[in-house]
Structure 1
Amino acid sequence: MRLKTIAAFCSAAVLSVGGAWLAAGWIEARSAEVVNSKLIDGQHDWTSVTTDGLLVALGGEAPDEATRFRVVSAVGTVVDPDRIVDNMDVKPRERIEAPRFSVEMLRNGEGVSLIGLIPPMDEGEGIAAQLGDIAKGAQITDLLETANYPVPENWVEALEFSIEALRDLERSKISVSASQVEITAISDSPESKRRIEAQLARNVPSGVRLVLDISAPRPVITPFTLRFTLDAEGQASFDACSADTEDSKTRILRAASLTGTIESPDCAIGLGVPSPNWTKAVEVAMAGLKDMGGGSLTFSDADITMVALDTTSQGTFDRVVGEVDAALPDVFSMHAVLPEKVVVDGTGAEAAIEFVATRSPEGLVQLRGRLPDDSTEQIVGSFARAQFGTANVYLATRDDSSLPQNWSVRVLAALEALGSLESGSAVVQKDYVEIRGVSGEKTASDTISRTLADKLGEAENFEVNVRYDVMLDTTLNIPTPEECVSRINQILNASKIVFEPSSSEITEDAGRTIDKIAEIAKQCERVRMEIGGYTDSQGREEMNAALSQKRADAVRAALQGRRVLTGSITAKGYGETDPIADNDTAEGREANRRIEFKLLTDARAAATDKPEAETETPSE
């Protein structure tokens, strides 16, 4: 009996345990099924679900804390919250990127407007405060917002550059970021446009890209002038060219190219065209000049002068002149000249019937040759002194009462033309005027041709041979030789060129200094300079001299590698000579290890070795 009871109890225990195990398994499976269904419905399928008896463990990586909380809450609606075990991780928050700082600055007659996002600035140093002096009582609309994030590289330099640009540009819009400054502005004239573009390009900070859109109104051209020459070999050139539209310019340049070989032709577009048929008249006259075999063609408004070559036959001259005159549009009238052979003496000597004015590069003007009488000499002298300066004029002319009646007008016109040159000469003869020289103005030939065409009337047989020299162009603000060396040494004073110890290898940080020097050196490629290398007094004197030479050579090579023409730059090592500080201290020795740039005068250049050719490799 007792055994049966024990067996019954054991059977009941087994059945209870088995039933409990089956029930727990069913509960686990059912819980997992219900929870997974709920998570899928809520689009949280990234969550993993594991069950352990009555416990429901949630795993996986939640995108953020709010999503993790929503998952726990959702699961709590289908199972008892006390049964939930939260094993979920939260995805690390990504670092919030700093915003892009930028400013839009707009200036016009009504005031200044500012809009954008900038780093915090100290009180009183804001952009609006800095621009207060240029507003001149007009309103400054400040819509700037600030964000407390690190200031990006080049931001301060770009902003300072833009503020200075806004001071100079009364009608402009400037967009500023740390990497780029975009300037849209209106200038008063084409010359002002060139000056502004050159000045901005020179002052833009290193590492900042400059985008310019400077517009200029079309100039009023008066008289509306075109001066075209064609020699016997088919070489053509413009001394002056005017057009009223882009289409007119294209047609005129095409007509010029059909007459002969012409290099880099250009034509100014402006207001003041005397007739809608200007372009047609130019095309007809150019075709006639080619048919004649060469010569010169001058348009001054609706008046045309065609001067043939002195080798042209009378028959050809008469035929071409008749055909051109018949084909010209109404309004235009032509005067044609078949000149005698012109011989220019250019000295104003006794035998030559001519007046000669010369202007040296230093500005000294000499007037020689013939004038009609003493009163004309006084007029010419007064005009020259007013034009070139009293102390710069030397007058050595003689009277000749047989000169043509319009001689004085021709002389004064030639002197006015000479005033457009930095140096050159003007020769006046009875039927011919010649202007030759160098100018820093791109439009000097146009200006001179327009002056002569306006002053000389129908007797317009003249020649203009003017060379443009970019180094003389004042609108480009090209530095003088002294300024070149001074600016380079200012850079070196702020950040010296450093080399690896006992080596001529330039350090990486010093490369940025050489980048800045190269920008200036490219504007000073004609300036004769010397790169001087110096060391401290430690070590043998011979070794220091050799090391300083290698370092000077390395700087020259680095500039050459940055596309600087170094033909006018020499490199010389001075070793431990000429110290600028005490070699007994570490600070003094550091100061003495240096690179200096010096301007080579004629005397110093004669004592300096000839610069190496561009293709040679400097010493290592």
Structure 2
Amino acid sequence: MKLSPKTIGAGVFAAAAALSILAAVWAAFAIEHRAARAVRTALDDGGYDWAEVSVDGLQVTLSGMAPSEALRFRALSAAGTVVDGRSIVDRMDVVDPSALGLPEFTLEILRNGDGISLIGLVPSEAAHGAIVERLSDMAGDGQVTDMLETSEHPEPEGWQAAVDFGLRAMESLSRSKISVTADNVSVMAISTSAVEKARIEAELRRAKPAALQLSLDISAPRPVIAPFTLRFVADEAGARFDACSANSERARDRIIAAATRAGINDKVTCTIGLGVPSPDWAQAVAMGIDATAKLGKAVITFSDADVSLVADAAVAQELFDRVVGELESNLPEVFSLHAVLAEGDAASSQSEGVQEFSAILSEDGGVELRGRVTDQLAREAVESYARSRFGAAEVYAATRLDPGLPKGWSIRVLAALEALGHLQSGQVRVRADRVFISGTTDQPDARDDVARILSDKLGEAQKFQIDISYVPVVVPEVTLPSPEECVAAINSALSEQKIDFEPGSARIAASANDTLDTIADHLRDCADAQIEVAGHTDSQGSDEMNMNLSRSRAQSVVQALMARRVLTGNLSAVGYGETIPIATNDTEEGREQNRRIEFRLLTVAEDGTVVPMAIVPGPDTPRPRKRPERAGNAAPKTSE
């Protein structure tokens, strides 16, 4: 059958059309396949294997269950690097954190000298890195043993404040163990003294965040007292201690009770330490104080197990013999008593013939040596010791030689100079039967130290008189800026150089380092001010994406400040997205101004909630606006 030309032409046209359709279908399939494969590769490289990809023409749909909102946003951004973001349809869901249950985050830090070990579970790699970096700075050349694990979950409320407080506590405790949870910090440590223990405990309680529970177990080793010394004086000025030592709280209470019976009305400070010569120390001291009170005017000194009792010349011989006999018979076995009844106070004579050596320490550190020494060798020894103790340039010597001085004179002079070295300013005088020392000191234990030195060096009679006043060092009050001044200074620095970020991400640009350093310097003086770190974007991008991006950028700023060793427990990172513009979003210049970080002081509202202080807009500041809803699921271009 012969076909007509029209039939042949129609057949050829139909065949060509069919081939064209097949070619178009194949081309579309190839494009979809390449797009799906490229998006799949980008997601796998980012670790987003939970995301599913489907392609319909030029439209790419992402589905699946994201572990967190942040990972959903990152998966969306990863897909946008290989296809046009306007062609991506977001149908991903986010796992409900309450359904999963958060792991129990804990941080255990053990510090022994410069070595630091840490173990536990923290919310993210970023938090992990910040903790290790800060502890590495603290350890210096020491080793940091890192056994921390991470779990990518939202950090519980109060976690960052607890970590900041725990690390701050670690800085002041060289031997400690600190346990941190979101609502509790436990501190076990060893301090060098009871004074340091009290100071550290007070500082930690003062710096503790209000919602945080604090458990403290800080011990202070007792000092070694050598010789173990106590000196009790009863004279016309009343009863007092020149030095007081005890081996336990119970012993201290017994000694103070005896002193109260003897007439002391003021508060008594008695050092508790190690080195007591006998467990019966408190019993022996109480007996000695009772004996001194019976004599009326006397001085009793305990130096280890040696006991010296010197009664005033006005005490009747009969009374002296009876009291000394009772004391000597009843003292515990270890103690040895040497009792003396003075024959008159030759030291009170003011005649020119009095043999005396004196040294005067001025407030500027200069020392004048005057009076008598036995010979040239003794003079050289005294001057040499004084220069080594007070400084060669600070000593002026004008002594005279007197070979008729009493035996042991040089030892008394050197002991007096050693005692003088414990004063801020003062004077010491050495005479044949007594040593006088007077002055002021800024060390609370100086009086005990002076009594211990003189009683140890001056021999059995141990006659000396101490008149030392404790004058604490006045620390100049440091005026810190008010919270308002602090925030104003920070925002002033931001007005000169803003904090920039890499486009479409929360990674801080290198150009912002100097600004962050300046902000960190201001925040160190404002650790008690509650401050909000607010992130803002322009209007490009969806409402949700801009809100997430602004919050991530604010958190990045807080982490950067923490890396600069700033306590960030008082900082709150908040994202406002595009809702508070300060310029128009219709120009690039305006959008650049809207992409910013602000610091705002938090205040307590009338209903008791904590809110940022109101921002007063300028006359040209656009008011916050509600963006119109976008049609469809396509994700627009992200905010820079």
Q: How does 1:191-202 map to 2 (within 5 A)?
A: 193=197, 200=203
Partner of 2:147: 141
Compute the displacement of 1:379 (Å): 0.8
| TM-score with structure 1 setting the length | 0.56
Matches of 1:218 and 1:258, distance apart in 2: 28
The DSSP-based 3-state class of the residue aligned with 2:389 is: helix
1:317 match: 320
Match of 1:256 in 2: 259
In the alignment, the residues of structure 2 paired with residue 423 and residue 110 of structure 1 have an alpha-carbon distance, to the nearest angstrom, of: 38
What SS does the corresponding residue of 1:106 show, helix, strand or coil?
strand
Provide the residue aligned with 1:273 in structure 2: 276
CA positional deviation for 1:183: 2.9
User: Greater shift after overlay, 310-319 or 220-229?
Assistant: 310-319
Bigger shift: 189-198 or 133-142? 189-198
1:126/1:293 CA distance change after superposition, 3 Å:
same
Question: What code does the residue aligned with 2:176 have?
Answer: S
Alignment partner, residue 5 of structure 1: none
Alignment of 1:5-404 (within 5 A): 103-108=107-112, 112-114=116-118, 118=122, 120=124, 122=126, 125-132=129-136, 134=139, 136-137=142-143, 139-143=145-149, 145=151, 147-149=153-155, 152=158, 155=160, 159-160=163-164, 162-176=166-180, 182-190=186-194, 193=197, 200=203, 204=207, 212-232=216-236, 235-342=238-345, 350-404=352-406
Q: What residue in structure 1 maps to residue 421 of structure 2?
A: 419
Tell me which residue corresponds to 2:486: 494
- CA 1:130–1:240 in 2, change beyond 3 Å: closer, same or farther? same
Distance 1:201 1:149 in 2: 24
Instruction: Report what 1:549 is aligned to.
Output: none
1:373-408, Cα deviation, whole Å (9 max, x unpaired): 222111111101100111111112222222111111
For the 8 Å contact 2:232–2:300, the answer to whether it is kept is yes
Structure 2 residues not aligned, in runs of 5+: 1-95, 490-521, 529-640
Quickly say closer, same or farther: Cα 1:261–1:376, change in 2 above 3 A. Answer: same
- Report SS of the residue matched to 1:358: strand
RMSD (CA atoms): 4.1
**Secondary structure at 2:323 match in 1:** helix
Q: Deviations over 1:10-29 (max 9, x none)?
A: xxxxxxxxxxxxxxxxxxxx
1:479-538 residue CA offsets vs partner (Å, 9 max, x unmatched): xx4xx45x63698963569xxxxxxxxxxxxxxx9xx7999xxxxxxxxxxxxxxxxxxx
Quote how far apart the aligned CAs of 1:141 are.
2.6
Q: How big is each residue's C-alpha offset from its partner over 1:406-442, in whole Å with a ceiling of 9 and x where there is no partner?
A: 1111111011011111112212111111222222222
Counterparts of 1:103 and 1:357 in 2: how far apart (Å)? 58
Equivalent pairs, count? 398
Asked if 2 retains the 8 angstrom alpha-carbon contact of 1:413 and 1:455, the reply is: yes
Q: Which deviates more, 120-129 or 431-440?
A: 120-129
Instruction: Kindly provide the CA deviation profile for residues 461-480 of structure 1, in whole angstroms up to 9, marking residues without a partner as x.
Output: 112222222217xxxxx4xx
1:250 alignment partner, SS class: helix
Q: Percent identity?
A: 44
Q: TM-score, normalised by structure 2?
A: 0.54
SS of 1:460's equivalent in the other structure is coil
Contact map agreement 1:345 1:352 (CA 8 A) in 2: no
SS at 2:167 equivalent: helix
**Displacement of 1:282:** 1.3
3-state SS in 2 of match to 1:471:
coil
2:129 match: secondary structure: coil
Paired AA for residue 136 in structure 1: G
Looking at structure 1, the residues matched to 397 and 165 of structure 2 have their Cα atoms a distance apart, in angstroms, of 50
Contact 1:181 1:208 in 2 (8 A): no
Structure 1 pair 137–180 and aligned structure 2 pair: CA distance change class (3 A): closer
Distance 1:495 1:127, change over 3 A: same
Shift of 1:163: 2.5
Q: Is the 8 A contact 2:158 2:183 kept in 1?
A: no
* 8 Å contact kept, 1:117–1:147: no
Structure 1 contact 161–203 (Cα < 8 Å) conserved: no
CA contact (8 A) 1:356 1:426 kept: yes
Residue 237 of structure 1: how far off its partner (Å): 1.9
* 2:251 partner amino acid: S
TM superposition shift of 1:140: 2.8
Deviations 1:571-603 (A, max 9, x none): xxxxxxxxxxxxxxxxxxxxxxxxxxxxxxxxx
